[in-house]
């Protein structure tokens, strides 16, 4: 509703202006009838009038304009000379149009009086006459003397006068034109009170097109704006000074000034405000044409056309909006047949919506088309080399949608003449960002796409944060500001990957830019972090100091400094000094890595760290409350609780009844130099099972199970049955070698392989825990085991001594297991050396790789029995082969 009224209002304003112009031009034309420039201009104006009238369905108006245009075209082409008669008729046409426009303004519709229709007929006949004259070699006869064939006005007299008079008298049209009396027409035309007004109450002469709006030169507005800016600055300075002097009266005065200034600034800003409808109303036509040329049916809904925006922004968003609308129709909305098949109405809907939100203007362009196929987008991006297939796989839908904004991306299967203009969404995005705005896209496949643009209300005066770097102040527009962080300990809080730095903000990795570095200043102790968003990415700007937030007036930099991308302009501070305004998008280019890449790099680094020390779940328990013990959880078969009374002594051995079995009980204090288990009503049991035999370790309490690496200190407790110790949760924790203890409890517990020959095993393992554990159980099985703490060391040891079997971990520092295997297999001397890969968890991928490289066996470290069996198998096979070879 209001939108239609809006555009009608626009039409009326435009028509009034046109009519005024026509008046002037006709006057000029009379003085210089051959002036084709004027003729062309009049013709154009009339043509436009006709067009817009047609658009609104004002038939009479359109008709009059049409015939007037007809006549004008003959004049313009030089087929007829503009004589008084013609000009008079045309002026009459103008007057009628004026009357109609006035009527429309008041009644929102065309007048229905006969007057206009009759004039239309007159004009039409006159136009015919002119046309004939034009055909009949007009110059042969003085055109002004020819008689118009029109019924009423067929008079030998001076046509215009008579026609006018007749009209005035017969039809009650008071308007009268006397173009011959050139000095007068301006006065005569508007009002001629004499003729009696019988009918037509809305006759042309009464027309006084009252002006509620005036046109002001944009330059003047800009100047006003500048002055307002100056005033704001002067005010700021005055306020500063007033704050220094404690004078209540001065204070009062500055406050008033401050208030008035703000209000004036707002008012002036408003003069530059225009409804976004000024842009939106171009779209019905664009949409119609586009729909037609693509064979689609589209209904355009416009909402919030009266939302106001700064003139300069209105200008600047026109192109991006056009592009987005084109995209929606071209790529989004399906052809009618397809829509019907999809159970959608055949006519697609496109909504253009504008509204205010949080001091900004939001513009949405929404269609109910096919939406964006993120898979297709990813494919395309991979094809174009914008991302790797792995990246594509990891990408969320949201990230995939944002690919559209990358330079060099266009989703259209084929380039069409509508969207495929080589201008991509990246340009749209850049343009929006240049305005200090942002753009985001949401899409549901099959249901439609919404593009949301956020732009500031004005560009001239913006709130900004003042920061200091290298002793100079810089302003950062507040729209780009997300939050402020104070870095307490740069060493700890700022992470570094290569040359790039990062900050972890609530789990997000934010790349950092040091302002001093960007500006080429010596880097001070920048501890204030300003988190900024460029629209597409967040990043942190490290500055020396953060000051207040201020309203600043944006002054453009002149051409000598325009080329520097990190500045958006300059502003004058309260003290009269100039400060540069930083361009956040420009600054974001100084981000070494994007957050994504940083995350990847960090992950990899983490993985590197992790793999050099694998993490495991360990079980924490105590025997005596003062000592804490740990054991890898995966070694434990079961955990349970028992009552003290279910413990029994049989034949000098302590047993516990567990699920129908008598299970031998081990008290750790019997084997380790630790404090004894106190008497308890209830105990915890750790059950270990091997070869269908079960043993229970009696402990006091299960404390926790945690994930940790297994880096151990071995020096404190060098005792059999203890692998080492480590501080966990603030307490020294002893890692128990449960295999050793079981063996101490019952030397025959584990089946011993029958070893015919003495074999030496080299075990490459960086974790001291595993090295110790595996070594212990292998030695328990009768092998000699040598530990190498990484691949490099293992390789060295292989050179030094003879080994019958190489067991290797995969993840190790310096040289990992795979590299080691490769190296070993590449060497003639070790071609037949059996290799077993031991991992902490089974991993198919690693096994496959290891096998390709020539590993013979794969086992998990904690599977004692399987490892021993495999070792035996490999060593036996080796011996056999060697014997066979011998």
Partner 1 sequence: MAELPLPASETRPVLSEDTQTFVTFWLGEHLFGLPIAEVVEINRKMEITPVPLAPAYIKGIINLRGQVLTTVDLAERLGLQVEAPRAYNLIVRTEDEERISFLVEKIGDILEVPSKNVEEPPERIEGVERKFVRHVCQLPERLLVILNVREVLQDSG
Point out the residues that are catalytic.
Answer: 47, 69, 327
| 521 near partner 1 (CB under 8 A) | yes
Chain center to CA of 478: 18
Nearer to partner 1, 556 or 625 (CB): 556
| 221 near partner 1 (CB under 8 A) | no
Binding piece for partner 1, criterion CB under 8 A, among 112-120, 434-442, 572-580, 664-672: 572-580
Chosen residue from 65, 439, 572, 668 binding partner 1 by CB under 8 A: 572
735, 769 in Cβ contact below 8 A? yes
Chosen residue from 94, 233, 441, 712 binding partner 1 by CB under 8 A: 233
C-alpha span between 762 and 871 (Å, rounded): 11
| 239 near partner 1 (CB under 8 A) | no
* Angle of helix 159-170 versus helix 114-135 axis, rounded to 10: 160
Nearer to partner 1, 223 or 606 (CB): 223
Phi, psi of 680 (to 5 degrees): -135, 155
| 562 near partner 1 (CB under 8 A) | yes
Nearer to partner 1, 244 or 522 (CB): 522
Chosen residue from 560, 660, 673, 829 binding partner 1 by CB under 8 A: 560
| 522 near partner 1 (CB under 8 A) | no
Nearer to partner 1, 518 or 702 (CB): 518
Burial degree of 744 (CB within 10 A; 0-12, 13-18, 19+): middle
Kindly state the smallest distance separating residue 565's Cβ from partner 1, in Å: 9
Nearer to partner 1, 573 or 805 (CB): 573
The pair of three-digit structure tokens given for residue 322, joined into one six-digit string: 């056009």
Chosen residue from 561, 755, 841, 877 binding partner 1 by CB under 8 A: 561
Kindly state the smallest distance separating residue 733's Cβ from partner 1, in Å: 55
Please tell me the number of Cα atoms within 13 Å of 714 on its side-chain side: 13
Chosen residue from 578, 716, 755, 866 binding partner 1 by CB under 8 A: 578
The set of residues, in sequence order, having a beta carbon less than 8 Å from that of 28 and lying 6+ positions away, is 35, 38
| 707 near partner 1 (CB under 8 A) | no
H-helix or E-strand spanning residue 449: strand 448-456
| 564 near partner 1 (CB under 8 A) | yes
Paired sense of beta strands 857-860 and 835-839, if any: parallel
Determine the 3-state secondary structure of 301 from DSSP. Answer: strand
Q: What's the farthest any 2 CA atoms get from each other in the chain? A: 149
Kindly state the smallest distance separating residue 553's Cβ from partner 1, in Å: 9
Binding piece for partner 1, criterion CB under 8 A, among 6-14, 256-264, 573-581, 705-713: 573-581
Please tell me the number of Cα atoms within 13 Å of 786 on its side-chain side: 18
User: Helix H segments across 145-217?
Assistant: 159-170, 185-188
Please tell me the number of Cα atoms within 13 Å of 676 on its side-chain side: 4
C-alpha span between 451 and 353 (Å, rounded): 10
The pair of three-digit structure tokens given for residue 85, joined into one six-digit string: 């008669």
Kindly state the smallest distance separating residue 559's Cβ from partner 1, in Å: 4
Determine the 3-state secondary structure of 604 from DSSP. Answer: helix
Chosen residue from 249, 558, 645, 748 binding partner 1 by CB under 8 A: 558
Kindly state the smallest distance separating residue 511's Cβ from partner 1, in Å: 20
Binding map of partner 1 across residues 434-473, x = CB under 8 A, - = no contact: ------------------------------------x-x-
Kindly state the smallest distance separating residue 796's Cβ from partner 1, in Å: 53
DSSP string, 344-396: S-SSEEEEEEEEEETTEEEEEEEE-S----HHHHHHHHHHTTSS-HHHHHH--
Q: How does DSSP classify residue 465?
A: E
Chosen residue from 117, 519, 728, 843 binding partner 1 by CB under 8 A: 519
| 576 near partner 1 (CB under 8 A) | yes
C-alpha span between 107 and 12 (Å, rounded): 12
* Residue count, binding to partner 1 (CB under 8 A): 29
Binding map of partner 1 across residues 125-164, x = CB under 8 A, - = no contact: ----------------------------------------
Binding piece for partner 1, criterion CB under 8 A, among 183-191, 517-525, 614-622, 777-785: 517-525
The pair of three-digit structure tokens given for residue 339, joined into one six-digit string: 């829509």
Binding map of partner 1 across residues 537-556, x = CB under 8 A, - = no contact: ------------------xx
C-alpha span between 416 and 278 (Å, rounded): 28
| 692 near partner 1 (CB under 8 A) | no
DSSP string, 235-278: HHHHHHHHHHS--HHHHHHHHHHHHHHHHHHHHHHHHTEEETHH
Q: Residue numbers of the site for partner 1 (CB under 8 A)? A: 226, 229-230, 233, 470, 472, 518-521, 555-564, 566-567, 570, 572, 576-580
């Amino acid at each position: 509703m209001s939108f239609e009224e809006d555009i009608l209002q626009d039409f009326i304003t435009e028509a009034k202006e046109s009519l005024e112009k026509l008046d002037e031009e006709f006057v000029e034309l009379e003085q210089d009838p051959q002036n084709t420039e004027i003729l062309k201009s009049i013709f154009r104006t009339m043509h436009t009038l006709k067009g817009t009238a047609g658009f609104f369905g004002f038939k009479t108006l359109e008709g009059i304009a049409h015939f007037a245009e007809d006549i004008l075209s003959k004049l313009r082409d030089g087929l007829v000379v503009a004589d008084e008669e013609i000009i008079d008729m045309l002026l009459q046409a103008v007057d009628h149009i004026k009357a109609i426009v006035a009527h429309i303004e008041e009644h929102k519709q065309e007048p229905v009086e006969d007057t206009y229709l009759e004039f239309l007929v007159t004009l039409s006949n006159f136009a015919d006459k002119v046309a004939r004259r034009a055909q009949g070699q007009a110059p042969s006869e003085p055109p002004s003397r020819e008689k118009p064939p029109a019924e009423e006005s067929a008079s030998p007299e001076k046509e215009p006068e008579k026609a006018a008079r007749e009209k005035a008298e017969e039809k009650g049209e008071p308007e009268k034109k006397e173009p011959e009396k050139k000095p007068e027409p301006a006065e005569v035309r508007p009002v001629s009170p004499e003729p009696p007004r019988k009918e037509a109450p809305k006759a042309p002469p009464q027309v006084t097109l009252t002006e509620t709006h005036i046109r002001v030169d944009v330059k003047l507005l800009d100047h006003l704006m500048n002055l307002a800016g100056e005033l704001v600055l002067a005010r700021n300075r005055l306020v500063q000074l007033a704050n220094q002097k404690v004078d209540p009266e001065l204070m009062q005065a500055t406050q008033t000034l401050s208030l008035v200034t703000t209000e004036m600034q707002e008012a002036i800003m408003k003069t530059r405000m225009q409804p976004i409808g000024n842009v939106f109303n171009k779209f019905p036509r664009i949409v119609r044409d586009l729909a037609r040329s693509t064979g689609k049916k589209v209904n355009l809904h416009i909402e919030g056309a009266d939302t106001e925006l700064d003139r300069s922004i209105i200008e600047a968003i026109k192109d991006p909006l056009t592009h987005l609308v084109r995209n929606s129709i071209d790529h989004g909305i399906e052809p009618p047949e397809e829509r019907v098949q999809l159970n959608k109405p055949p006519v697609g809907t496109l909504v253009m919506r504008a509204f205010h939100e949080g001091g900004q203007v939001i513009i949405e362009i929404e269609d109910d088309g096919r939406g964006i196929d993120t898979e297709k987008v990813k494919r395309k991006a991979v094809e174009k080399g914008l991302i790797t297939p792995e990246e594509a796989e990891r990408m969320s839908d949201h990230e995939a949608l944002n690919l559209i904004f990358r330079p060099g991306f266009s989703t259209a299967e084929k380039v069409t003449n509508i969207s495929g203009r080589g201008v991509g969404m990246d340009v749209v995005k850049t343009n929006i960002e240049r305005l200090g705005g942002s753009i985001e896209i949401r899409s549901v496949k099959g249901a439609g796409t919404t593009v949301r643009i956020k732009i500031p209300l004005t560009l001239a005066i913006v709130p900004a944060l003042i920061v200091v770097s290298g002793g100079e102040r810089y302003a950062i527009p507040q729209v780009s500001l997300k939050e402020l962080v104070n870095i307490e300990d740069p060493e700890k809080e700022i992470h570094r990957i290569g040359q790039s730095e990062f900050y972890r903000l609530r789990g997000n990795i934010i790349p950092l830019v040091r302002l001093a570095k960007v500006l080429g200043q010596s880097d001070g102790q920048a501890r204030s972090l300003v988190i900024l968003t460029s629209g597409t990415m967040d990043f942190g700007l490290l500055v020396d100091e953060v000051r207040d937030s201020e309203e600043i007036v944006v002054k453009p930099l002149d051409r000598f400094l325009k080329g520097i991308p990190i500045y958006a302009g300059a502003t004058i501070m309260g003290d009269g000094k100039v400060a540069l305004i930083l361009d956040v998008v420009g600054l974001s280019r100084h981000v070494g890595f994007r957050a994504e890449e940083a995350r990847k790099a960090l992950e990899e680094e983490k993985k590197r760290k992790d793999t050099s020390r694998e993490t495991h779940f360990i079980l924490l328990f105590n025997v005596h409350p003062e000592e804490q013990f740990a054991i890898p959880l995966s070694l434990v078969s079961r955990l349970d609780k028992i009552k003290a009374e279910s413990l029994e002594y049989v034949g000098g051995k302590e047993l516990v009844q567990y699920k129908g079995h008598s299970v031998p009980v081990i008290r750790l204090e019997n084997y380790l130099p630790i404090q004894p288990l106190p008497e308890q009503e209830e105990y915890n049991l750790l059950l270990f099972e091997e070869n269908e035999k079960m043993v229970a370790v009696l402990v006091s309490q299960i404390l926790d199970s945690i994930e940790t690496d297994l880096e151990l200190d071995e020096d404190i407790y060098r005792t059999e049955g203890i692998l080492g110790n480590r501080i966990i949760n603030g307490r020294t924790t002893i890692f128990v070698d449960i295999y050793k203890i079981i063996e101490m409890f019952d030397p025959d517990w584990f089946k011993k392989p029958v070893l015919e020959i003495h074999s030496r095993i080299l075990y490459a393992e960086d974790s001291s825990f595993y090295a110790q554990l595996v070594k212990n159980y292998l030695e328990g099985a009768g092998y000699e085991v040598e530990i190498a703490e990484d691949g490099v060391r293992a390789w060295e040891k292989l050179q030094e001594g003879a080994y019958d079997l190489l067991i290797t971990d995969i993840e190790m520092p310096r040289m990992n297991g795979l590299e080691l295997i490769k190296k070993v297999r590449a060497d003639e001397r070790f071609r037949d050396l059996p290799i077993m890969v031991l991992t902490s968890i089974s991993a198919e991928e690693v096994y496959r790789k290891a096998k390709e490289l020539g590993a013979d066996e794969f086992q998990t470290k904690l599977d004692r029995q399987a490892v021993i069996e495999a070792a035996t198998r490999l060593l036996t096979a080796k011996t056999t082969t060697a014997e066979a070879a011998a």
